[in-house]
């Protein structure tokens, strides 16, 4: 039994057999060789190279005979790649000096080449990366390292263990079979974490190097509540977690009774409790759990989950579906938030040294109007189906907000001119995620219809912590007193200008932190569908005076850790059912 500690990013518990992946979805565990195995392993590689080489040569002759020499040259080029002196030298170095297994070395080196080729600006040339991956696959098959297809053909429940999972890979996990996942890299606020929460998959990230300790089919427990991963658990541990799974199911059953009750405190202070979604199909869960609306619809997943760049029609169809299914409840659409850790299909801004401080989100949208315009048109067109509101992410300056709003007006005029049905009198708001916007909020407030605080980015930019970097992940806490002071200031300005304010960051999904936010004067929370009932349970268990007392006490504290410990204590006192042991 091996116990590992990582960062819990999506709650829940799962028990099942391991499926170990490398970055591409092949099953290549990182195995290291003993000194006396190096020669034999290198010989195995030579043999595999010869075999693949013979195969390619046969393909070349055959194809040339059937389709002409020009077509056969494709295989000549692949042969050239296979025998590339740089490639061979690097493989030799990794096996002989770093003692990596041949399969692991092949997969790493060819992947690096493929990634470098994929990054070039010419689409035609970038596609040559496929040739490189093809060689990788053939070598891995000769080395006996690739059994079947990757994640696409699962037939039994598994727990996915990987060095890294990107947001789109996470989004494409087969939920029928994948029970949980854990990764060596990653941090609590990354988008992979958000997707995992959206899919309600227990997940632990940022574990550090551990894949070499795991083989396929090992039994694994993932504890997404406490960030624990247990490899080959003993009978006692399994029994403990089986009981935990059972308790969790019965809590879920009890919470589901709350769905039709209003989100209000004991003394009757009314609140709005909305849901954050990324995929249209999540709306049904939101309705099932009694959400008051969609407080944050993240639209970039339209880009990440498909291989085609979405058209205006794709946007329109997705939005219309969500809006219709919400039957008149408000739907707040956030415009594209691409860049940094969420890339679309085109190279947006290559080689940024500091992507989170770079061309991302609204900045990227305003620079790529061919990308932004179709989305804005689709939003205005879909607005005829219900209560739609739009907000712009990562607004830093007044000029940015005004530019975005003006563009929305221009797009509306275009639709009028073209006689296309739409509705343009929709509320327009901004996300408050950058400290600069908080400092200038008095100037923004008169120009916006509503404000929404994105605590993930606000914490990242306030604390100068890259939320996806596991080395500094412990510094990233949205309950940090500095972040709380910025939120308090937003509440104050919103009240002064009488503008609705909501919090849609991950912060409000934590029931204890939600109580704190209520005490600070926030009256609208938007949380992942998986958290709706837990947060509602917390809200319905306290009075607003108790929340204010919590907030007053918290504002005296000096560190995020103290804040969270105090909050956990209060939650234990007011809502003991929600404390998972």
Partner 1 sequence: MSKAHSRTVVVRNPQGLHARPADMLVRMANQYTSSILISRGGEAVDCKSILSLLTLGAACGTELSLRVEGDDAEAAIDSIEQLFLRGFDEMGDEDVADNNSDRNEPGDSSESAESVGQTDSTPSA
Q: Helical H runs in 392-469? A: 398-418, 435-439, 441-444, 455-463
Is residue 489 a contact residue for partner 1 (CB under 8 A)?
no
Q: How far is the CB of 310 from partner 1 (least distance, A)?
A: 12
| Between 132 and 517, CB nearer to partner 1 | 132
Q: In 3-state terms, what secondary structure has residue 54?
A: helix
Taking CB under 8 A as the binding criterion, the range among 49-57, 163-171, 286-294, 405-413 that sits at the site for partner 1 is 163-171
Q: Which of 182, 286, 504, 547 is catalytic?
A: 504
How many CA atoms within 13 Å lie on the side-chain side of 207? 31
Q: Helical H runs in 68-101? A: 69-82, 85-96
Q: Which residues contact 359 (CB under 8 A, 6 or more apart)?
A: 339, 348, 349, 352, 367
Is residue 37 a contact residue for partner 1 (CB under 8 A)?
no
Q: How far is the CB of 112 from partner 1 (least distance, A)?
A: 4
| Between 109 and 486, CB nearer to partner 1 | 109
Q: Residues touching partner 1: how many (CB under 8 A)?
A: 50
Is residue 60 a contact residue for partner 1 (CB under 8 A)?
no
The residue within the footprint of partner 1, chosen from 38, 141, 164, 472 (CB under 8 A), is: 164
DSSP class of residue 475 equals: G
Q: How far is the CB of 424 from partner 1 (least distance, A)?
A: 30
Strands across the sheet containing 203-205: 2-5, 228-231, 219-223, 13-21, 158-162, 178-183, 203-205, 7-10
**Nearest to residue 2, comparing CAs of 292, 230, 295?**
230
- Window 4-23: residues binding partner 1 (CB under 8 A): 23
Q: How far is the CB of 355 from partner 1 (least distance, A)?
A: 12
Taking CB under 8 A as the binding criterion, the range among 39-47, 75-83, 508-516, 524-532 that sits at the site for partner 1 is 75-83
Both tokens assigned to 543: 């009075």
Active site residue 504: yes
Q: Which residues pair with 228 in a beta bridge?
A: 5, 223
Q: Which residues contact 511 (CB under 8 A, 6 or more apart)?
A: 531, 534, 535, 537, 538, 571, 575, 578
Is residue 134 a contact residue for partner 1 (CB under 8 A)?
no
- Window 298-317: residues binding partner 1 (CB under 8 A): 304, 307, 309
The residue within the footprint of partner 1, chosen from 58, 61, 77, 239 (CB under 8 A), is: 77
Q: Which residues contact 525 (CB under 8 A, 6 or more apart)?
A: 271, 272, 273, 274, 295, 502, 503, 504, 508, 514, 517, 535
| Between 14 and 79, CB nearer to partner 1 | 79
Q: How far is the CB of 379 from partner 1 (least distance, A)?
A: 22
| Between 69 and 545, CB nearer to partner 1 | 69
- Binding residues (CB under 8 A) for partner 1: these are 23-24, 70, 73-74, 76-78, 80-81, 84-87, 108, 111-129, 131-132, 163-164, 166-169, 304, 307, 309, 343-347
């Amino acid at each position: 039994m091996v116990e590992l500690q990582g960062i819990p990013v999506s709650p829940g518990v799962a028990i099942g057999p391991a499926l170990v992946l490398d970055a591409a979805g092949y099953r290549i565990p990182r195995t290291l060789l003993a000194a006396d195995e190096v020669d034999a392993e290198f010989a195995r590689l030579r043999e595999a190279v010869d075999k693949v080489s013979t195969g390619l040569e046969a393909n070349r002759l055959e194809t040339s005979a059937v389709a002409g020499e020009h077509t056969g040259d494709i295989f000549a080029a692949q042969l050239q790649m296979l025998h590339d002196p740089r490639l061979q030298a690097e493989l030799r170095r990794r096996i002989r000096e770093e003692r990596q297994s041949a399969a692991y070395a092949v997969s790493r080196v060819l992947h690096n080449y493929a990634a470098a080729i994929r990054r070039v600006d010419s689409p035609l040339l970038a596609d040559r990366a496929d040739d490189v991956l093809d060689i990788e696959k053939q070598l891995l098959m000769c080395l006996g390292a690739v059994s079947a297809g990757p994640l696409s053909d699962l037939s039994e429940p598994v727990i996915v263990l990987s060095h890294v999972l990107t947001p789109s890979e996470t989004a494409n996990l087969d939920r029928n079979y994948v029970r949980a996942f854990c990764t060596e890299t990653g941090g609590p606020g990354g988008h992979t974490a958000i997707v995992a929460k959206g899919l309600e998959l227990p997940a632990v990230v940022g574990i550090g190097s551990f894949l070499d300790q795991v083989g396929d089919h090992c039994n694994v427990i993932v504890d997404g509540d406490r960030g624990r991963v247990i490899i080959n658990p003993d009978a006692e541990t399994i029994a403990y977690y089986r009981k935990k799974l059972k308790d969790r199911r019965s809590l879920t059953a009890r919470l589901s009774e709350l769905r039709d009750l209003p989100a209000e405190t004991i003394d009757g202070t009314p609140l709005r409790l909305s849901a954050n979604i990324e995929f249209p199909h999540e709306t049904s869960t939101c309705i099932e759990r009694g959400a008051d609306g969609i407080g944050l619809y993240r639209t970039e997943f339209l880009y990440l989950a498909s291989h085609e760049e979405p058209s205006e029609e794709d946007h329109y169809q997705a939005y219309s579906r969500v809006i219709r299914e919400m039957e008149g409840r408000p739907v707040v659409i956030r415009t594209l938030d691409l860049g940094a850790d969420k890339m679309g299909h085109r190279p947006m801004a290559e080689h940024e040294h500091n992507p989170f401080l770079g061309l991302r989100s609204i900045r990227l949208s305003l620079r790529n109007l061919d990308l932004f315009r179709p989305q804005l048109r689709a939003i205005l067109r879909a607005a005829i189906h219900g209560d739609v509101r739009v907000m712009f992410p990562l607004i830093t300056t007044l000029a940015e907000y005004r530019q975005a709003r003006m563009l929305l007006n221009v797009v509306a005029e275009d639709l009028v001119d073209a006689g296309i049905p739409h509705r343009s009198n929709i509320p327009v708001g901004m996300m408050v995620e950058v400290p600069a916007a908080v400092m200038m909020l008095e100037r923004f407030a008169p120009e916006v219809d509503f404000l929404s605080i994105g605590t993930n980015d606000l914490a990242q930019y306030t604390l100068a912590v890259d939320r996806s970097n596991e080395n500094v992940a412990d510094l990233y806490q949205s309950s940090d007193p500095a972040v709380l002071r910025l939120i308090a200031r937003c509440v104050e300005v919103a009240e002064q200008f009488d503008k609705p304010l909501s919090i849609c960051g991950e912060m409000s999904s934590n029931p204890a932190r939600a109580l704190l936010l209520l005490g600070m004067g926030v009256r609208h929370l938007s949380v992942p569908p998986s958290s709706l009932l837990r947060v509602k349970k917390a809200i319905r268990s306290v009075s607003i005076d108790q929340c204010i007392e919590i907030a007053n006490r918290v504002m005296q504290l000096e560190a995020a850790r103290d804040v969270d410990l105090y909050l956990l204590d209060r939650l234990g006192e007011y809502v003991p059912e929600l404390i998972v042991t």
